[in-house]
Amino acid sequence: MDFLKNKLAIVFYHLMVWTVLFSFPYLLSSGQNQAIQAVIVFSWIPLSFYVLIFYTNYFVFIERFLFTKKTILFLVSNAVLIAFFILINNQIKEYFFQHIFIHKDKQGQFKPSRNLFIYIDILFFTVPLVFSVALKTTERWIKTEGERKEAMTIKLESELQHLKYQLQPHFFFNSLNNIYSLVDVSPEQAKQTIHSLSKLMRYLLYQTNNDKVSLSNEIQFITNYIELMKLRFTENTKIEYDFPVLKTDLQVAPLLFISLIENAFKHGVSASQETEIIFKMSVDGNRISFSIKNHNFPKTDSDKSGSGIGLQNMKKRLQLLYPGKHQFSTAVNDGFFIVNLALEI
């Protein structure tokens, strides 16, 4: 339907332009002694030739020759076409108004003077050719640009979908590692963890298929995840979080913060030292600020837990989802790894 509307609009604009061009000479001649034949010969007939030149190029020559790099054939074809119409145009002028195009030669005889008018005709008959090339090239550029943007959108959507599918198994893998570590130590706690994990997986399966989710639901999800993670740690690990209770809900990309939270648990906990992890989020209008501060215990190269895709995934998603609308930074300060993320949504 949109395609049909666009086609009809283009046809309408073309008709409107040619109607104006054909009407203008007649309107200017109104009230003068100039005969209607003059308007026909000097305006309407040349304009009819302009129309033929314009649309012959618009529908045939430009697509077949110019856009296929057959420039010489394009120029020769137009030279023949323009020369043919100039010849016919001058024959018509001489037939109807031969007495207008005269000058006196040495013998005192009068004969038509053609050269000046032929030069003018060449100039005028080239104008529709130039406009046809300009219009067709512009239309092609617009079409190409639209197709490029559509292809880019499809590519981005596919890439985002891939990142989302990559994130969910990654999250599930980390959670299973946590449950595995509890099975021998505390079977009852492992059962509770599996039950909590089922709730989280339900959210992953049924509420993250849309482009945007409720920020309140996302906060509830990461809160449940943090509580799930707290089950596996001893009192040596201090975990705090401060998330807002929203009065007006906002929409964000799903699973946007989980990679950062997973990363904090992965690199911020030690089995032999006291550790601290602090999560904080604040909302001001449409701006979300999220920060994490945790002790820094980098994994060795031999430790492949979590596959190391969390932060890479996060940065890529931010670039795709919030280009120019996010600030993301990480730093190590006094043994703490600090993450700051700000979003404009």
* pLDDT of the residue at 104: 43
pLDDT of residue 306: 45
Going by pLDDT thresholds of 50, 70 and 90, the confidence category of residue 314 is confident
Question: Is residue 240 exposed (0-12), middle (13-18) or buried (19+ Cβ within 10 Å)?
Answer: exposed
CA 95 to centroid of chain Cα atoms:
58
Q: Can you give the pLDDT at residue 236?
A: 86
Residue 211's nearest CA partner among 317, 311, 284 is: 317
Predicted local confidence at residue 289, as pLDDT: 96
Q: Which two tokens stand for residue 57?
A: 């190029």
At residue 200, the pLDDT reads: 78
- Locate 113 and state its tokens: 């003077």
Residue 324 gets which letter from DSSP?
Answer: T
**Residue 252's beta-bridge partner residues?**
213
Q: Is the pLDDT of residue 105 over 50?
A: no
Could you write out the DSSP letters of every residue in 66-107? ITTT-HHHHHHHHHHHHHHHHHHHHHHHHHHHTTTSEEE-TT
Question: Do 279 and 327 meet the contact criterion of CB atoms below 8 Å apart?
Answer: no
Residue type for 99, please? H
For residue 133, the SS3 value is helix
Beta bridge partners of 276: 238
* C-beta separation of 174 from 308 below 8 A: no
* Burial (0-12, 13-18, 19+ Cβ within 10 Å), 218: buried
For the segment 201-212, the average pLDDT, to the nearest whole number, is: 77
Phi, psi of 283 (to 5 degrees): -125, 125
Pick 181 or 336 by higher pLDDT.
Answer: 336
Predicted confidence (pLDDT) per residue in 288-309, tens digit: 999 999 998 876 555 544 444 5
Contact 269, 277 (CB under 8 A): yes
Q: What percent of the chain has pLDDT over 90?
A: 21
Main-chain phi, psi angles of 339, to 5 degrees:
-120, 135
Q: Return the DSSP state at 44.
A: I
pLDDT for the residue 171: 64
Q: Give the up-direction half-sphere exposure of residue 83: CA atoms within 13 A in the CB hemisphere.
A: 6
d(CA 65, CA 72): 8
User: What does the pLDDT average to over 266-295?
Assistant: 90
pLDDT above 50 for 23: yes
pLDDT (0 to 100) of residue 155: 61
